[in-house]
Amino acid sequence: MPPSTNVDRRTLMRGLGAAGAGLVLRPVVAWAQPAAMITRAVPSSGEALPVVGLGSWITFNVGNDRAARDGCADVMRAFFSSGGRLIDSSPMYASSQDVIGYGLAKLGKPAALFAADKVWTSRRGRDQVEQSRRHWDIARFDLMQVHNLLAWEDHLPMLFDMKAAGQLRYVGITTSEGRRHHEIEQIMRSQPIDFVQVTYNVLDREIEDRILPLARDRGIGVIINRPFREGALIRRVMRQPLPAWARDIDCANWAQVLLKFVASHPAVTCAIPATTSVDHVRENMGAATGRLPDDAMRRRMIAHVEAL
């Protein structure tokens, strides 16, 4: 994500207003900032989550490198101090879970944390969930998801039982890069899940046709992965200057433009960009303040990026 060069971020954070159903603007209480944070309600509970979270794929897989771990903790500190809540990981992400646990301990276990992880195994799912919980060193996960639908027929009943027992709060499923959407739809229609995690960005919009409308109809929260195509989309737009119309939606940089496109869809609950940069996580969180694009602006954004 590029550094901000055009508009001072503190000026932008004074902006208010939001587009799309289900938005709530409220002051951030924990790790407070002066701006109002754009949040969306989790459909199954009404709990408010900021529309920008934090992913950990690749970026937090730093092993036992102490300096790199401290760098990740600094990213988490900036995330929470900017009003962030939802951090997402997976056993698939190697050392990322342990690095998150290290950061949480260093930060004094921030109460704002919304812990989202995944079960990614063909068997012994409860054991893996417990191992993940120990890595994070938390009492329980807020959200546990079946990663890429692996053995979902076995894992979903287990997760529903854990939810009923108070061992986690929400249950979900995930996929990425536009894969297995038909199966995702079938599960959304047949299972009482709270969240679905899918890929969405200004260029990858397949889920607009069926999955996002279905999520709204079924009362399912939507977490968005790959909002920057793992950085490829940022690198593409970085070659061009920030358009003048970015000011109309309180964007100081391309990262905020791309994230506000995602967050402005009324069915989206939270996007989870990943980063190793404190400056970038602050820029990302700036997309959860100020004005969001309306439908006309969204069409303009699509046309602009597609033409680059």
Task: Evaluate the CA torsion angle 97, 102, 103, 104 in order and state its sign.
Answer: positive
- Dihedral of the alpha carbons of 285, 184, 93, 228, in degrees to the nearest 10: -40
- The pLDDT, as a whole number, for residue 26 is 36
Residue 17: is its pLDDT beyond 70?
no
**Nearest residue to 71 via CA among 56, 85, 90:** 56
For 249-308, what is each residue's pLDDT tens digit?
999 999 999 999 999 999 999 999 999 999 999 999 999 999 999 999 999 999 999 999
- The pLDDT, as a whole number, for residue 68 is 98
Residue 20 and residue 299 in contact, taking contact as beta carbons nearer than 8 Å: no
- C-alpha angle 146-48-294 in degrees, rounded to nearest 5: 95
Instruction: Determine the average pLDDT of the residues in 237-248.
Output: 96
Compute the distance between CA of residue 277 and CA of residue 72 in angstroms, rounded to an integer.
8
Of 13-17, 180-184, 191-195, the least confident: 13-17
Residue 3: is its pLDDT beyond 70?
no
Is 295 exposed, middle or buried (CB count within 10 Å of its CB: 0-12, 13-18, 19+)? exposed
For 186-232, what is each residue's pLDDT tens digit?
999 999 999 999 999 999 999 999 999 999 999 999 999 999 999 99
Residue 4: is its pLDDT beyond 60?
no
The CATH number of the structural domain formed by 9-306 is 3.20.20.100
If pLDDT is split at 50, 70 and 90, which confidence band does 1 have?
very low
Residue 11: is its pLDDT beyond 80?
no
How far CA 270 is from CA of 6, 55, 91, 264, in Å, comes to 26, 11, 21, 10
If pLDDT is split at 50, 70 and 90, which confidence band does 152 have?
very high
Q: What is the pTM of this model?
A: 0.89
- The pLDDT, as a whole number, for residue 113 is 98
Task: Evaluate the CA torsion angle 175, 181, 187, 188 in order and state its sign.
Answer: positive
Domain ranges of the chain: 9-306
Of 115-119, 143-147, 178-182, 255-259, the least confident: 178-182
Residue 173: is its pLDDT beyond 60?
yes
Residue 78 and residue 52 in contact, taking contact as beta carbons nearer than 8 Å: no
